[in-house]
Structure 1
Amino acid sequence: MKFGISYGTPYFGVDPDRMAAFARLAEECGFESLYMPEHVALYPGAKLGAYEMPPALPYADPLDCLAFVAAATERLLLGTGVLLLPYHHPVTLAKRLATVDLLSKGRMRLLTVGIGALPGEAAAVGVDFATRGRRTDEAIDVLRLLWAGDEDGVGHDGEFFSFENLVSFPKPYRATSLPIHVGGSSAAAARRAGERGDGYFPGGSLTPAERARQWELARAAAAESGRDPDALEYTRFGSLDMTPERVEELAAEGVTRLVVNTAATDPAEQRAELESFAERHALL
Structure 2
Amino acid sequence: MGIRLGLGLPQMRQYDIGRDVPDVARAAEHIGYESLWVFERILFPEPATQGLYGIPGLPWPDQYRSVADPLVTLTLAASATERARLGTSVLVAPLHVPFQLARGLASLDAASGGRVVAGLGTGWSRDEYAAAAVAPFDRRGKVLDELIDVCHAVWGPDPVAYEGPLTTIAPSVVGPKPKRPIPILLPANSPRALRRLVDRADGWMPVGMGAKKLAEQWRQVQELAAERGRGEPVRSVLRVNTQHTSKAYDGPDRKPFQGSAPQIAEDLAAHAAVGVEEILIDLQGGARDAQELKDLAAEVYAAARAAGV
- For the superposition of Structure 1 and Structure 2, which TM-score range results when normalised by the shorter chain? 0.7 to 0.9
Superposition deviation, residue 266 in structure 1: 3.8
The 2-side partners of 1:144 and 1:248 are apart by: 35
Aligned pair in 2 of structure 1 residues 221, 165: CA closer, same or farther (>3 Å)? farther
1:51 matched to which residue of 2? 58
Counterpart position of 2:129: 122
Identify if the C-alpha distance between structure 1 residues 267 and 87 changes in structure 2 by more than 3 Å, giving closer, same or farther.
Answer: closer
Is 1:195–1:221's contact at 8 Å kept on the other side of the alignment? Answer: no
- Percent identical among aligned pairs is 31
- The answer to whether the Cα contact below 8 Å between 1:180 and 1:198 also exists between their aligned partners in 2 is yes
Q: Distance in 1 between matches of 2:232 and 2:64?
A: 41
Change (3 A) 1:230 1:15: closer
Q: 81, 99, 102: which one pairs with 2:89?
A: 81
Q: Which moved more, 1:56-65 or 1:234-243?
A: 234-243
Question: Which residue in the other structure is 1:166 paired with?
Answer: 172
> Residues of 2 paired with 1:224 and 1:166: CA distance?
38
Q: 1:227-246 residue pairs with structure 2 within 5 A?
A: 227-228=230-231, 230-237=233-240, 239=257, 240-242=261-263, 246=267
Relative to structure 2, which stretch is displaced further, 38-47 or 120-129? 38-47
- What is the alpha-carbon root mean square deviation over aligned residues? 2.7
In the alignment, residue 277 of structure 1 is paired with which amino acid? V
**Partners of 1:124 and 1:11 in 2: CA distance:** 21
1:189 has 2:193 as partner: yes
Q: Could you tell me which runs of 5 or more consecutive residues in structure 1 were left unpaired when the two chains were aligned.
A: none
Give me the TM-score of the superposition, normalised by structure 2: 0.79
Determine helix, strand or coil for the equivalent of 1:260.
strand
- Aligned pair partner of 1:202 in 206, 225, 229: 206
Q: What is the alpha-carbon distance in structure 1 between the residues aligned to residue 168 and residue 144 of structure 2? A: 15
Q: Structure 2 CA distance, aligned partners of 1:170 and 1:193?
A: 27
Q: Which residue of 2 aligns with 1:137?
A: 145
**1:101 maps onto 2:80 in alignment:** no
AA partner of residue 161 (structure 2): G
- One-letter code of the match for 1:100? L
- Paired residues in the alignment total 277
Alignment partner of 2:75 out of 32, 54, 67: 67
The answer for the alignment partner of 2:222 in structure 1 is: 219
Report Cα offsets for 1:33-59 as digits up to 9, x if no partner: 111111234422153123333597112
| Pair 1:31 & 2:33 matched | yes
Q: Structure 1 stretch 89-98 or stretch 258-267: which is displaced more? A: 258-267
Structure 2 residue runs of 5 or longer lacking an equivalent are 242-256
Are the structure 2 counterparts of residues 146 and 244 from structure 1 closer, same or farther at C-alpha, using a change threshold of 3 Å?
Answer: same
In structure 1, C-alpha distance between the alignment counterparts of 2:219 and 2:113, rounded to whole Å: 34
State the alpha-carbon separation in 1 of the partners of residues 155 and 176 from structure 2: 9
